[in-house]
């Protein structure tokens, strides 16, 4: 028996610590009830539609437009966040200036502030009669109630993802590495662009992907500022709600399934970036 | 290239890290900066590199004043303690980096850069690993990439900060020999920092012993070991014993009797006597000698180490004897006399003068016995 | 002589070294200005706007807006939902972290991914899945209805959606922390004769308490502030199934801006308190809360 035990497939390695059964039991039960059953319900319902109907619903012009707007604005916002997030992280890690602590803490505001509050605040600011909107209006720039407004909201929501992914990696940069580049004759610009930024690439990409994924699904902060004009500034999550209110469950399910699929792809990409970076550079992102 | 350090001072805030240090390094020399941590050896290395700027003093590369040049302009090769390899670049790109970042008018063509980098990898015995990333290398291999990278820029001087500090003992010894070989083949003027005396004495042409921000002694490994010029060097390099003694009309006294050593030109007063455990002779029947009870005896490789109690007020003294001679001496009273020794006087105000006097006396003593 | 040479070059080379590992003063200032302007534009101004709009017509209007019966019931409902959802996820989070951090078993990485799943799902979809499960067109909905059990458009639906959305917070905070701490403390306690529960209460819990508090704090902020998921399952029945964020939306859409911003100001205050506590925890107990955090 003992011999066979050692070669048998083992679910878990032996441990003296008690409570495995209870802890895993609670975890799996809760996970199944709250997450797995509801999500598989969605998949089951969308597969119940049949392939051709599903495809017809998903390729409906308004749906395609809404998905394009969601993904397009999320992409633009994530790019903006990548650029400014890296600058902000750099400034927070490298420089000293008055109020730095507060700014650092404020970066997490989008995590803590309810999205609806952010939504109405941004709308009040960027509306044509708002503080910023009224400054831009004479220049012919409209932010609120256009896709640009969606981008503004998504920049707000996504900023901490980039900063908080890049910041710890930046803090870990060994000062010796920069000195090494300098002793080899690299000027400051070359050191930053060839040595430091490429080292931050995996972290930057991860932050970018997280901000993008969050932006695609974002609802609360967007609907106030977007104007919600079908085919122009109507985002996919809003279209799901509209279909639900019309009791058009198949359409809502189809849009949700497409979005879910794409977010899982994003998740996969993030994991791939991280394991690639771990393999190659010996650290995660 | 010849490197001259002139009256360099460096303060961090109000803490003086280096105080008026001067040092001439000959072209093609392999020189070690040796000292305990906090002795200023790494600071001196970084000042030569241009990674720190001195509070005062000058540094010359050849006849050229390098003090005003930035680290980028000095064209040095620096190997960092933890290598500081660029982890997102392959081994080849790491080595080629210094050439690639040169301004266009001084940059060799891409094929030439590649060829030189590959040649260097060949020199450091890493051929075939050029496509690897640093994370995929062992510690010793990273060390060699770091050296190849530093040599790629054809530096005026090669600077190594604790080059073997992060490696385990086995690899350390191997790389030490290998670094010596590389140096003999390439002939770069090389300065390396270490806190390991064995490393410094084995590897370097000359050793610079540093303590508390100043240079204690500069000399060949033989000089440093055989003729230490200060109590610090005596204590820091190798094993040594020190005894509080007194001088009376040229005779050296320990406690209440003469020990059979003479320092004829020395004035009367108290002094400290330094000698190494193996520089002694046993004496039968003590006319003038040191004598003590053996309190502990250990066999270390080819010799036996004896701890002697010379009297309650003194710390024990350690001597080394061939095992066959020591066997009879176990738990007995032993009489001995140092064959090579140095006296240092108490007053530490004027170290220069004292040192020269001390050296003289030790010379006298050596010729005397 | 020697010192003359030294003092002559005291000031000259000091700029050389800064060039090795830092930027010029101009570049530094420019970057700081860009970063601060960005933060001001996208973070500080919106936050300030909430309070400015709330007090636009004076404190009297602000407080009377909050005394509104429907608003009051929204506050109560928000507190109730958070009071149920947060402890549930707290228990789950500790259990999940215990299983994942203290044991080695097959499929652990996959389980961790599953726990993170709700983060990558749009809030609206998080609500939708419960509509599909309990709605009138579903299998379960009519059955439960016949027993008089109302899930959607009622408190249970709000709780379910909130639990789903805040599902990973506590677990995600605890897993890396407990993994870092290892199992030697627990093994020591067990070897001294402690039972499993005693070990947990006296050894494990004190080790993770600040990390746990940190996770609960973030979980609570999200639970009280959740909008999309809750919006889908609430049915927006005024005075009954409106949480604070939903009340903000309703008041805003009725052009009752002062009242909308007054409720929003309460939520923003909650966010600020969360941020202050979070920062305080990070400063004081930085090694006792997990190093890797992203959400």
Asked if the model's pLDDT at residue A277 lies above 80, the reply is yes
HEC profile for B315-331? Answer: CCEEEEECHHHHHCCCC
Size of interface A-C (CB pairs under 8 A): 302
Strand B158-161 vs strand B77-79: parallel, antiparallel, or unpaired?
parallel
Beta strands in B62-110 (DSSP E): 64-65, 77-79
Q: Tell the CATH topology of A45-281.
A: MetI-like fold (1.10.3720)
Alpha carbon of B36: minimum distance to chain A alpha carbons (Å): 21
pLDDT tens-place string over residues B38-63: 899 999 999 999 998 899 999 999 88
A244–C232 C-beta distance less than 8 A: yes
Burial of residue B192 (CB within 10 Å: 0-12, 13-18, 19+) is: buried
Rounded to 5°, angle at Cα A260 from A254 and A262: 105
Q: Across the interface, which of B50, B57, B68 has its CB nearest the CB of C5?
A: B57
Alpha carbon of A78: minimum distance to chain C alpha carbons (Å): 14
Please tell me the predicted confidence (pLDDT) of residue A276.
Answer: 85
C92–A112 C-beta distance less than 8 A: no
- Cα-trace Rg, chain B: 25
Q: Across the interface, which of A95, A105, A155 has its CB nearest the CB of C275?
A: A105
Please tell me the predicted confidence (pLDDT) of residue A2.
Answer: 45
**Which residues 11-30 of C have a C-beta within 8 angstroms of B?**
12-14, 16-17, 19-20
Assign A167 to helix, strand or coil.
helix
Q: How far apart are CA B165 and CA B49, in angstroms?
A: 19
- The two structure tokens encoding residue C233: 């399952």
B70–C9 C-beta distance less than 8 A: no
Q: Where are the alpha helices (DSSP H) in chain A?
A: 2-7, 20-31, 37-47, 51-58, 61-94, 100-106, 109-112, 115-126, 131-136, 147-172, 175-183, 188-190, 197-217, 220-226, 236-245, 249-281
CATH 3.40.50.2000 at C58-288, yes or no: no
Concatenating the DSSP letter of every residue in B13-59 gives TTEEEEEEEEEEE-TT-EEEEE--TTSSHHHHHHHHHTSS--SEEEE
Residue of B nearest to C5 (CA): B57
C47–A219 C-beta distance less than 8 A: no
Please tell me the predicted confidence (pLDDT) of residue C19.
Answer: 54
Tell me the chain A residues in contact with residue B71 when contact means C-beta distances shorter than 8 Å. 179, 182-183
Domain ranges (residues) in chain B: 3-231, 239-368
Q: What percent of chain A is predicted at pLDDT more than 70?
A: 96
Suggest the residue from B56, B65, B76, B159 to mutate for an interface test with chain C (most C CBs closer than 10 A).
B56
Q: Which of A207, A218, A242, A213 is nearest to A114 (CA)?
A: A218
Q: How far apart are CA A273 and CA B233, in angstroms?
A: 54
Positive or negative CA dihedral for A141, A144, A148, A153? positive
Q: What percent of chain B is predicted at pLDDT more than 70?
A: 91
A174–B101 C-beta distance less than 8 A: no
Q: Across the interface, which of C6, C13, C20 has its CB nearest the CB of B7?
A: C6
Alpha carbon of A152: minimum distance to chain C alpha carbons (Å): 8
CA of residue B229 relative to chain centroid, distance: 14
C2–B7 C-beta distance less than 8 A: yes
Judged by a CB distance cut-off of 8 A, whether residue B102 touches chain A is yes
Q: How far apart are CA A174 and CA B82, in angstroms?
A: 9
* Whether the Cβ atoms of residue B244 and residue B272 lie closer than 8 Å to each other: yes
Q: Any idea what DSSP says for residue C200?
A: I
Residue B358 pLDDT level (bands cut at 50, 70, 90): very low
B97–A184 C-beta distance less than 8 A: yes
Suggest the residue from B86, B116, B120, B160 to mutate for an interface test with chain A (most A CBs closer than 10 A).
B86
> Which range among A267-281, B147-161, C274-288 shows the weakest confidence by mean pLDDT?
A267-281
Q: What average pLDDT does range B68-84 have in this prediction?
A: 90
Whose tokens are 């600011």? That residue is A125
Alpha carbon of B268: minimum distance to chain A alpha carbons (Å): 54
Q: How far apart are CA C181 and CA C179, in angstroms?
A: 5
- The two structure tokens encoding residue A120: 């109405």
Tell me the chain C residues in contact with residue A103 when contact means C-beta distances shorter than 8 Å. 35-36, 39
Q: Across the interface, which of C6, C13, C14 has its CB nearest the CB of B9?
A: C6
* Whether the Cβ atoms of residue B84 and residue B134 lie closer than 8 Å to each other: no
Q: For chain B, which chains pass the contact test of at least 3 CB pairs under 8 Å? A: A, C
Strand B333-338 vs strand B280-282: parallel, antiparallel, or unpaired?
antiparallel
Q: How many H-runs (helices) and E-runs (strands) does chain C carry? A: 17, 0
Please tell me the predicted confidence (pLDDT) of residue B168.
Answer: 83
Classify domain B3-231 at the CATH superfamily level. P-loop containing nucleotide triphosphate hydrolases (3.40.50.300)
Strand B251-254 vs strand B241-248: parallel, antiparallel, or unpaired?
antiparallel
Q: How far apart are CA B193 and CA B174, in angstroms?
A: 18
Q: Across the interface, which of B50, B56, B68 has its CB nearest the CB of C10?
A: B56
* Whether the Cβ atoms of residue B79 and residue B161 lie closer than 8 Å to each other: yes
pLDDT tens-place string over residues A24-65: 999 999 999 999 999 999 988 888 888 899 999 989 999 999
> Which range among B91-100, B244-253, C120-129 shows the weakest confidence by mean pLDDT?
B244-253
Beta strands in C164-267 (DSSP E): none
Suggest the residue from B7, B51, B53 to mutate for an interface test with chain C (most C CBs closer than 10 A).
B53
A115–C227 C-beta distance less than 8 A: yes
Q: Where in chain C is the domain with CATH 1.10.3720.10?
A: 58-288
Q: Which of B299, B231, B290, B210 is nearest to B257 (CA)?
A: B290
Q: How many H-runs (helices) and E-runs (strands) does chain A carry? A: 16, 0
Please tell me the predicted confidence (pLDDT) of residue A7.
Answer: 54
- Residues in chain C where the model's pLDDT stays below 70: 1-20, 290-295
Quote ipTM for the complex: 0.89
Q: How far apart are CA B116 and CA B306, in angstroms?
A: 56
A88–C125 C-beta distance less than 8 A: no
- The two structure tokens encoding residue B260: 């059979």
In chain A, the largest separation of any two C-alpha atoms, in whole Å, equals: 85
Element (DSSP H or E) covering residue B282: strand B280-282
Q: Which of C172, C155, C157, C186 is nearest to C292 (CA)?
A: C172
C19–B71 C-beta distance less than 8 A: yes
Percent helix, percent strand, percent coil in chain A, to nearest 5:
80, 0, 20
pLDDT tens-place string over residues B303-342: 888 888 887 677 788 888 887 776 666 567 888 888 888 8
Tell me the chain C residues in contact with residue A242 when contact means C-beta distances shorter than 8 Å. none
Beta strands in B225-268 (DSSP E): 241-248, 251-254, 257-262
| Number of neighbouring beta carbons within 10 Å of residue B169 | 8
Assign A143 to helix, strand or coil.
coil
Q: Where are the alpha helices (DSSP H) in C67-168?
A: 69-102, 108-116, 123-134, 140-146, 155-166
Size of interface B-C (CB pairs under 8 A): 54
- The two structure tokens encoding residue C158: 């709000």
B70–C16 C-beta distance less than 8 A: yes
Please tell me the predicted confidence (pLDDT) of residue C83.
Answer: 96
Tell me the chain A residues in contact with residue B76 when contact means C-beta distances shorter than 8 Å. 183
Domain ranges (residues) in chain A: 45-281
Q: Across the interface, which of B7, B56, B70 has its CB nearest the CB of C19?
A: B70
pLDDT tens-place string over residues A114-157: 999 999 999 999 999 999 999 998 998 999 899 999 999 999 99
- Cα-trace Rg, chain A: 24
Please tell me the predicted confidence (pLDDT) of residue C174.
Answer: 93
Upper half-sphere CA count for residue A105 (Cβ side, 13 Å): 17
Suggest the residue from A183, A186, A198, A282 to mutate for an interface test with chain B (most B CBs closer than 10 A).
A183
A174–B150 C-beta distance less than 8 A: no
* Whether the Cβ atoms of residue C230 and residue C246 lie closer than 8 Å to each other: yes
Q: Across the interface, which of A106, A120, A236 has its CB nearest the CB of C39?
A: A106
Burial of residue A120 (CB within 10 Å: 0-12, 13-18, 19+) is: buried
| CATH number of this structure's domain B239-368 | 2.40.50.140
List, in order, residues 6 or more apart from C79 with CB less than 8 Å away: C224
Q: How far apart are CA A44 and CA A206, in angstroms?
A: 31
Q: How far apart are CA B27 and CA B1, in angstroms?
A: 5
- Residue B214: beta bridge partners? B211
* Whether the Cβ atoms of residue A196 and residue A189 lie closer than 8 Å to each other: no
| Number of neighbouring beta carbons within 10 Å of residue B350 | 10
C10–B71 C-beta distance less than 8 A: no
Judged by a CB distance cut-off of 8 A, whether residue C3 touches chain B is yes
Round the average pLDDT of chain B to a whole number and report it.
85
Suggest the residue from C1, C11, C13, C22 to mutate for an interface test with chain B (most B CBs closer than 10 A).
C13
Tell me the chain A residues in contact with residue B50 when contact means C-beta distances shorter than 8 Å. 183
Tell me the chain B residues in contact with residue A203 when contact means C-beta distances shorter than 8 Å. none
A181–B135 C-beta distance less than 8 A: no
Asked if the model's pLDDT at residue A232 lies above 80, the reply is yes
Q: How many H-runs (helices) and E-runs (strands) does chain B carry? A: 11, 20
Q: How far apart are CA A137 and CA C81, in angstroms?
A: 42
B135–A179 C-beta distance less than 8 A: no
Q: Across the interface, which of B80, B101, B153 has its CB nearest the CB of A176?
A: B80
């Amino acid at each position: 028996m003992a011999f066979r035990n050692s070669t048998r497939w083992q679910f878990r390695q032996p441990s003296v610590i008690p409570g495995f059964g209870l802890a895993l039991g609670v975890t799996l039960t809760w996970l199944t009830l709250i997450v797995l059953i509801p999500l598989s319900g969605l998949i089951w319902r969308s597969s119940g539609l049949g392939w051709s109907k599903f495809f017809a619903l998903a390729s409906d012009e308004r749906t395609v437009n809404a998905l394009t707007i969601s993904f397009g604005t999320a992409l633009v916002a994530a790019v903006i966040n990548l650029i400014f997030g890296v600058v902000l992280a750099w400034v927070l890690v490298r420089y000293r200036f008055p109020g730095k602590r507060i700014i650092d803490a404020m970066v997490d505001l989008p995590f803590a502030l309810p999205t609806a509050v952010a939504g109405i605040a941004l709308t009040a600011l960027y509306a044509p009669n708002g503080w910023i909107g009224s400054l831009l209006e004479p220049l012919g720039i409209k932010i609120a109630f256009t896709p640009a407004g969606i981008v503004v909201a998504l920049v707000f929501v996504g900023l901490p993802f980039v900063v908080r992914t890049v910041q710890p990696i930046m803090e870990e940069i060994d000062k010796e590495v920069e000195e090494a580049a300098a002793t080899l004759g690299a000027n400051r610009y070359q050191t930053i662009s060839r040595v430091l930024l490429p080292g931050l690439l995996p972290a930057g990409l991860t932050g970018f992907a997280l901000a993008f994924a969050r932006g695609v699904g974002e609802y609360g902060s967007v609907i106030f500022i977007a104007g919600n004009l079908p085919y122009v500034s109507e985002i996919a999550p809003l279209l799901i709600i509209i279909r639900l209110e019309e009791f058009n469950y198949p359409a809502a399910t189809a849009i949700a399934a497409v979005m879910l699929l794409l977010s899982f792809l994003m998740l996969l990409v993030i994991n791939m970036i991280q394991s690639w970076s771990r393999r190659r550079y010996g650290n995660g992102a | 290239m010849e490197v001259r350090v002139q009256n360099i001072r460096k303060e961090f805030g109000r803490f003086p890290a280096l105080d008026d240090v001067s040092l001439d390094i000959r072209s093609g020399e392999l020189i070690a900066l040796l000292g305990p941590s906090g002795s200023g050896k790494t600071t001196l290395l970084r000042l030569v590199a241009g990674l720190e700027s001195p509070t005062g003093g000058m540094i010359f590369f050849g006849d050229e004043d390098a003090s005003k040049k930035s680290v980028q302009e000095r064209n040095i090769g620096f190997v960092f303690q933890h290598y500081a390899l660029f982890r997102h670049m392959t081994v080849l790109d790491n080595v080629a980096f210094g050439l690639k970042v040169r301004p266009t008018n001084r940059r060799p063509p891409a094929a030439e850069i590649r060829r030189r980098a590959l040649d260097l990898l060949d020199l450091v015995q890493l051929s075939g690993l050029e496509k690897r990333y640093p994370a995929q290398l062992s510690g010793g291999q990273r060390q060699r990439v770091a050296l190849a990278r530093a040599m790629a820029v054809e530096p005026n001087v090669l600077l190594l900060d604790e080059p073997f500090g992060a490696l385990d003992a086995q690899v350390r010894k191997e790389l030490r020999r290998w670094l010596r070989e590389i140096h003999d083949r390439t002939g770069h003027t090389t300065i390396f920092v270490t806190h390991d005396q064995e490393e410094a004495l084995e590897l370097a042409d000359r050793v610079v012993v540093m303590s508390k921000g100043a240079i204690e002694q500069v000399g060949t490994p033989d000089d440093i070991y055989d003729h230490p010029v200060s109590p610090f060097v005596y204590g820091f390099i190798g094993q040594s014993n020190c005894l509080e003694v007194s001088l009376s009309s040229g005779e050296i006294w320990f406690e209440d009797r003469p020990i059979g050593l003479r320092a004829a030109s020395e004035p009367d007063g108290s002094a400290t006597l330094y000698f190494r455990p193996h520089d002694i002779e046993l004496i039968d029947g003590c006319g003038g000698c040191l004598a003590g009870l053996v309190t502990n005896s250990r066999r270390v490789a080819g010799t036996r180490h004896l701890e002697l109690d010379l009297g309650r007020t003194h710390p024990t003294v350690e001597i080394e004897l061939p095992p066959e001679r020591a066997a009879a001496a176990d738990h007995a009273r032993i009489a001995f006399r140092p064959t090579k020794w140095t006296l240092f006087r108490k007053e530490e105000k004027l170290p220069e003068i004292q040192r020269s006097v001390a050296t003289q006396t030790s010379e006298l003593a050596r010729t005397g016995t | 002589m020697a010192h003359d040479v030294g003092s002559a070059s005291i000031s000259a080379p000091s700029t050389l070294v800064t060039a090795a590992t830092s930027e010029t003063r101009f570049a530094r200032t420019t970057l700081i200005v860009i970063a601060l302007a960005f933060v001001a534009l996208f973070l500080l101004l919106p936050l300030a706007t909430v309070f400015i709009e709330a007090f636009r017509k004076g404190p009297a209007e602000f407080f009377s807006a909050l005394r509104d019966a429907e608003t009051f019931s929204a506050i109560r409902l928000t507190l109730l939902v958070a009071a149920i959802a947060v402890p549930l996820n707290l228990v789950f989070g500790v259990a999940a972290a215990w299983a994942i951090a203290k044991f080695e078993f097959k499929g652990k990485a996959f389980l961790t991914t599953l726990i993170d799943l709700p983060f990558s799902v749009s809030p609206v979809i998080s609500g939708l899945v419960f509509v599909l499960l309990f709605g009138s067109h579903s299998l379960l909905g009519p059955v439960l209805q016949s027993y008089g059990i109302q899930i959607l458009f009622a408190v249970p639906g709000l709780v379910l959606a909130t639990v789903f959305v805040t599902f990973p917070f506590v677990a995600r905070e605890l897993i890396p922390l407990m993994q870092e701490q290892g199992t030697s403390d627990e093994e020591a306690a067990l070897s001294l004769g402690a039972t499993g529960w005693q070990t947990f209460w006296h050894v494990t819990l004190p080790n993770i308490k600040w990390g746990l508090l940190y996770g609960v704090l973030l979980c609570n902020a999200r639970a009280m502030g959740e909008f999309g998921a809750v919006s889908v399952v609430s049915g927006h029945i005024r005075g009954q199934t409106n949480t604070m964020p939903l009340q903000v939306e309703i008041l805003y859409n009725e052009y009752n801006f002062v009242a909308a911003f007054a409720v929003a100001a309460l939520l923003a205050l909650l966010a600020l308190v969360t941020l202050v506590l979070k920062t305080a925890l990070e400063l004081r107990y930085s090694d006792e809360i997990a190093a890797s955090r992203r959400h």
